[in-house]
Structure 1
Amino acid sequence: MNKFLATAAILLLTAGTSLAGAFNFPSDDPVATVEIPDSWKPSETDYGYEATSPDGGTYISFDAAGAEDTEEVIKGVFTFLEENGVTADPASQTESKGDQNGMPYQTLSWKGTDKDGPVTIGVGIVGISEESLAIVTYWASTETEEKNNPDVNKMLESIKPAE
């Protein structure tokens, strides 16, 4: 009986947590890895992975780029946002730089709108190696952004070079 109660307690404690899978990207020649919660239903893209929060309010993607295709990948990010009706307010642009897991990063963020209302938009570039970058695209409803930020931050903190 005690074994049953202990097992039940563990299941209850972990029921609220969503498991995360580690994804190497791109899958054909991995340069980086990221952990994405299963509840975000990650799916493979041409250059990496994308996922959407369970409430549908936050989108994030992780794409790899090298010297030969960085421009193409970044153009693809802005084309994707435009095709999805995401419009940034250029006057709201902010920039940040730093170091994460020993890798340099730079982000550009904007306030904007999509078909459902106000959003936050972000594009980040993480220097995985001298030859490779991870491009992170972020688009979140301002209504659900705060709720989804803990998962987003865990994903961002999990980016590292592929082994």
Structure 2
Amino acid sequence: MKKIIALALLVLASPLAAHAATLKFPSEKPVASITIPDSWKPEETESGVQGTSADSAIYLSADVASSKSMDKVVTDAVDFLAKNKITVDPSTRKETPVTDVNGMQMTTLEWDGNDEDGPVSVGLLFVQTSGDNALVVTYWGTKGEEDKHGAEVQAIIASIKPIE
């Protein structure tokens, strides 16, 4: 996953596949937009957007958080992973320092882990979209399968933009 995030930062203008949905979220008062390929069946959730690759190798969601709700949004992401029987190995934690993506600051936390099918990569990305708003991006990918989606994930991450 580290390679995917690093490449995403280098290829900020990377185009997505021909058919993709750009979602502005939350729909009532958008703070960000993201472009996710149609094959991932992107959809708006209660607090953001989500999509899963057609082969179910990658799950990615982006949830809106304010300075007041950040702890709850992170807890909800961790609870979601636990509900899906994903465990992480705390000794594999890697933190990527703050970088700039489309004028926004982003930090990543990554772990190796397991789900019911075997080894996975897990990541939380924190993207500051404005003074009070941020996104918590949750990533879960099957090891050995996630690399074939590298370009799509790069483009999704690079597509995140703040709504002015």
Shorter-normalised TM-score: what interval? 0.7 to 0.9
**Greater than 2 Å deviation, 4+ residue runs:** none
TM-fit CA distance, 1:53:
0.3
CA RMSD of superposed structures (Å): 0.9
Deviation at 1:20, TM superposition (A): 1.0
Equivalent residue number for residue 72 of structure 1: 72
| Residue 24 of structure 2 corresponds to residue 24 of structure 1 | yes
Find the aligned partners of 1:118 and 1:154 in 2 and give their Cα distance. Answer: 24
Q: Between the two proteins, what is the percent identity of the paired residues?
A: 41
Residue 115 of structure 1 aligns to which amino acid in structure 2? E
Name the amino acid aligned to 1:21. Answer: A
**Whole-angstrom distance in 1 between the partners of 2:74 and 2:30:** 18
Task: Indicate whether 1:159 and 2:160 are aligned.
Answer: yes
**Structure 1 residue 68: Cα displacement:** 2.1
Residues 35-93 of structure 1: CA deviation (Å, up to 9, x unaligned): 01000001221111110001111000011111221111110000000000000000000
- Taking structure 1 as the reference length, the TM-score comes to 0.87
Higher relative contact order (CA closer than 8 Å, sequence separation 6+): 2
Q: Which moved more, 1:17-26 or 1:89-98?
A: 17-26
- The two structures have a TM-score, normalised by structure 2, of 0.87
Would the aligned equivalents of 1:41 and 1:51 in 2 still touch at CA under 8 Å?
Answer: yes
Q: Which digits, 9 at most, give the CA deviation of each residue in 1:100-148, with x for residues without a partner?
A: 1111110000000000000000000001011100110000000211001
Q: Residues 6-155 of structure 1: matches in 2 within 5 Å?
A: 17-97=17-97, 98-155=99-156
